[in-house]
Amino acid sequence: MSKKIVIAGAGIGGLCAALALAKHGFDVAIYEQSSHLGEVGAGLQLSPNAIHVLQALGIADKVKAKAFRPKSAVMRHYQTGKTYFTVPLADTATQKYGADYLHVHRADLHRTLLDACQSMEVSIHLGQAVESYQHDFQNLTIHLANGESLKAGVLIGADGIKSKVQACMLGQTSAEFTGQVAWRGVVEVKKLPYELIKPNANLWVGPGKHFVSYYLRGGDLVNFVAVQERTDWQKESWNEPGDINELRQTFDGWHPEVTKLLAATESCFLWALFDRQPLNQWTDSNVALLGDACHPMLPFLAQGAAMAIEDSYALAHCLASDTDTHTALQTYQNIRLPRSRDIQLNARKNAALYHMSSPIEEAKLAVLSGLSKLGLSDRVAVNKLDSIYAYNIVKQLN
């Protein structure tokens, strides 16, 4: 197999895959459509299953130095603040799963990965998007949007939910609007009332919407994600500056921890949440998909970045372990597809629960509330998350 690997996309997944591959001795080149690298300011929740990979890649300590380690994950009623469950994190998570649970600014993780890739001499080509590919006998030709072509041994499509690599592999299809939008913003803690935001992964659930808040950068910033069911989305852009007054009005009447945070917010972004059905195929001979290009994750289990990070480690391991590229990539798909599919579908289910979308979901919350009074709801929540957080792909493959 040729040691030359081309990756489409320089996001979290693309950079993580490049770093993992470079550490195995591959010659890696990334082609990114944007003319400059950077991430829109927003937070990520990195659970232990993702941190295991960052540890193996030698960057976990650098990421942790800029992160926040929450005490618990807490789900509460949007008005009364009644607690449905509390899942201990911090030392409990570290001891139980063998790695930390961290809140990280997306830009900090991206920068750390970028620096590590550059130290490994990964070549990064900006303003050059991968448009398509074709097989010719044993050769792989990659076509760029600017009309240029190049040869490589492997192509990895880490180019997001609108992946051109996926379209070339499986045919052009449109991602589906979920009927939900996400407002996102970051606020400096010094602009908030003292100790307004609890040092947790805070989840507020209410009719037709939910609200998440947590600290970043050691507690200097608060990140929020506010998801609203909305069918009137007509914008072509998938993210745009949001109207902060509209956001405040949307969550008017919610708990003071939510409304006071929004009162101090000066700006926000608005994303339409798009989705795709789970795929049955991620590979085509010496081409493979990774991250949102093959399993876009709705943000209701906070596993989008984690799944791309897990993919990256598995992909590099498989390519390094088998000289037959086709077999290696098929093994990668076999390892990753079942887990990512389950998490992708479970994230969808959580949307209905968080938004009290039906009498059944309201009944589930009532049961959680009742169990909470008995001290049992926490155990239910922990058991549900164990299969995600306890997974260690590094240990599994080595």
Give the list of residues 6+ apart from residue 102 with CB closer than 8 angstroms, or none.
45, 46, 51, 63, 64, 67, 68, 69
Helix axis angle, 304-321 relative to 48-56, nearest 10°? Answer: 40
Q: Which tokens go with 46?
A: 């990195």
**The pLDDT value given to residue 371:** 42
**The pLDDT value given to residue 359:** 61
Tell me which DSSP letter residue 58 carries.
T
Q: Catalytic residue among 78, 84, 214, 391, which?
A: 214
Entry pTM: 0.93
Q: Of the candidates 63, 149, 138, which has an alpha carbon nearest to the alpha carbon of residue 106?
A: 63
Query: How many C-beta atoms surround the C-beta of residue 374 within 10 A?
Result: 8
332 classed as catalytic: no
**The pLDDT value given to residue 339:** 97
Q: Give whole-number Cα distances, 266 to 36, 238, 244, in Å.
A: 26, 21, 7
Residues in the chain: 398
Give the list of residues 6+ apart from residue 146 with CB closer than 8 angstroms, or none.
128, 129
Q: Of the candidates 203, 208, 145, which has an alpha carbon nearest to the alpha carbon of residue 8?
A: 145
For the chain, state the CA radius of gyration.
21
**The pLDDT value given to residue 341:** 95
Q: Which of the residues in the chain have pLDDT under 70? A: 1-2, 39-41, 137, 233-239, 356-382
**The pLDDT value given to residue 112:** 97
Give the list of residues 6+ apart from residue 219 with CB closer than 8 angstroms, or none.
68, 189, 199
Tell me which DSSP letter residue 149 carries.
E
User: In angstroms, rounded to a whole number, what is the distance separating the alpha carbons of residues 272 and 296?
Assistant: 13
